[in-house]
Amino acid sequence: LTFQFHIISSSDEHPGSPPRVVCFYCGYLYASVGVISPGSTEIEWQIFPEALIPGAVGATGKMVNGSLYWTHPGRLYITVLNTATLEFSRMELPPLLAVEEGSNRDCDFVLGNTKDGRPCIVSPDPWGGCELLVFFWRPDEYDGVERWKLDQEFKLKTIRRLTRLTEIEDDSYVVVHVMDVTDGIVYLRTAYDGYTEVPQLLLSFCLETAELKKICEYDHKLHPYVMAWPPSLVGVHDKGPNDQALSTPSSEGSDVKAGADRTEPASVPKA
């Protein structure tokens, strides 16, 4: 069974509108979608046949520009939920990524969004090359039908330098996995299939500038991530003379201090 919650912030069409929460429940026979709005006391659920969204059980949807997207291993399409109309639709995968169930070719693509909010698909080269393929949903130049179109191919030439491979070591053994795509930044994980020990890395790649950066080395399944400070600890103003700074001990003994003048972040343990 799958039970998911996704927050929808105010859109450009309705600036200043309060956020809503979309609830998605998928069982083995049917799926239900409901929306929670501020001030509402009940959720009005809409029921959909499970046949409409096969493979959604156990999968987590990705919110992009007001729609939820589900990718399904072994299926040749993406399921889309328009959160404004609560209507489902399907997007056919590009032929290059359409790996049927039982195929011996692996496809490790991730759906995300660009800096301007457009949905995109980013995939390593399905044939094992050290490069990234980027697809956008747009009208075909020949028949005008919208479909996923290959837009760019990025050669990850600096992978060798970042992984400290020598000239005699073959970088074809470097395996690149796409972890996430958010606001035009692709987050990657590397692995090495050769005999020489090289570090496994977490990397970021900017689709706009084609800049590849090393985030950190890792040797476990824990991944670092960025989290915003709680609003109560940021921009604290209008404190009286008798008010005292809020001090919260961190895991390494440092404090988060929010006073009238500034906010000091606690130290962050290294990955």
| Average predicted confidence (pLDDT) for the chain | 68
pLDDT at 185: 93
Q: What is the full DSSP assignment across the chain?
A: -EEEEEEEPPPSSSTTPPPEEEEEEE-SSEEEEEEE-TT--S---EEEEGGGSTT-TT---EEETTEEEEE-TT-SEEEEEETTTTEEEEEEPPGGG---TT-SS----EEEE-TTS-EEEEEE-TTS-SEEEEEEEEE-TTT--EEEEEEEEEE-TTHHHHHT--TTS-GGGEEEEEEEEETTEEEEEEEE-SSS---EEEEEEETTT--EEEEEEESSS------PPPGGGSS-----TT---EEEE-TTS-EEEE-SS-EEPPP----
Decide if pLDDT at 251 tops 50.
no
Q: How confident is the model at residue 135 (pLDDT cuts 50, 70, 90)?
A: very high
Instruction: Work out the pLDDT band at 267, boundaries 50, 70, 90.
Output: very low
Beta strands in 193-231 (DSSP E): 200-206, 212-218
pLDDT of 62 > 60? The answer is yes
Q: Residue 118 pLDDT > 80, yes or no?
A: yes
- Model pLDDT, residue 161: 61
Residue 214 pLDDT > 60, yes or no? yes
Tell me the average pLDDT across 218-247: 57
Higher pLDDT, 37 or 210: 210
Which has more confidence, 175 or 48? 175
Q: Which of 108-117, 162-171, 228-237, 240-249 has the highest mean pLDDT?
A: 108-117
The mean per-residue pLDDT over the stretch 63-69 comes to 83
Q: Highest mean pLDDT: which of 54-63, 157-166, 198-207?
A: 198-207
pLDDT higher at 181 or 246: 181
* Mean pLDDT value across residues 117-131: 80
